[in-house]
């Protein structure tokens, strides 16, 4: 029988910081999670804008002013980077899932590819739209 006495085991993420050195593999993976959760906020902004456009010209004017102003531009540019980064991160998961590039050096190269690729795609997006 297992000991019924409760044991206070450390709960995740106790490893990060004191015991675990930041590496390209871990940082690029943590960033996928952060950008994924941040994208829920981006979905809120997009839905608010669509709903305002469908509601009335006045509602649209307010939300559109917020989204296309200087603060809106900065937020949407950051949001665009997050979406591109997350998309590339998930592409890396798909590649791994198919059984390719599962060694550490390839994972690290793809991690750099995600940071650099997301930045280039964001610049292209800002210029193109």
| Positions that interact with another protein (CB under 8 A) | 11-13, 33, 36-37, 39-40, 43-44, 46-47, 49-51, 53-55, 57, 60-61, 64, 67-68, 76, 80, 83-84, 87, 90-91, 93-94, 97, 125, 128-129
d(CA 17, CA 15): 6
Closer to another protein by CB, 27 or 53: give it: 53
Closer to another protein by CB, 8 or 105: give it: 8
Contact assessment for residue 89 and residue 28, using Cβ atoms and an 8 Å cutoff: yes
d(CA 120, CA 122): 5
Closer to another protein by CB, 60 or 115: give it: 60
d(CA 57, CA 19): 55
CB of 40 to another protein, least distance (A): 5
CB of 21 to another protein, least distance (A): 20
Closer to another protein by CB, 90 or 115: give it: 90
CB of 41 to another protein, least distance (A): 9
Structure tokens at 47: 């839905």
d(CA 56, CA 53): 6
d(CA 90, CA 10): 29
Structure tokens at 45: 């902004």
CB of 81 to another protein, least distance (A): 11
């Amino acid at each position: 029988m297992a000991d019924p006495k409760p044991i206070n085991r450390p709960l995740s993420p106790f490893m990060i910081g004191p015991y675990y050195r930041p590496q390209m593999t871990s940082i690029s993976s943590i960033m996928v999670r952060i950008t994924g959760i941040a994208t829920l906020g981006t979905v809120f902004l997009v839905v608010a804008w669509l709903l305002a456009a469908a509601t009335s010209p006045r509602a649209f004017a307010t939300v559109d002013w917020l989204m296309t102003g200087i603060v809106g531009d900065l937020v949407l540019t950051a949001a665009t980077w997050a979406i591109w980064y997350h998309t590339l991160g998930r592409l890396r998961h798909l590649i791994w899932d198919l059984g390719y590039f599962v060694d550490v050096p390839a994972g690290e190269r793809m991690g750099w590819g995600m940071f650099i690729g997301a930045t280039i795609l964001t610049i292209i997006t800002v210029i193109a739209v």
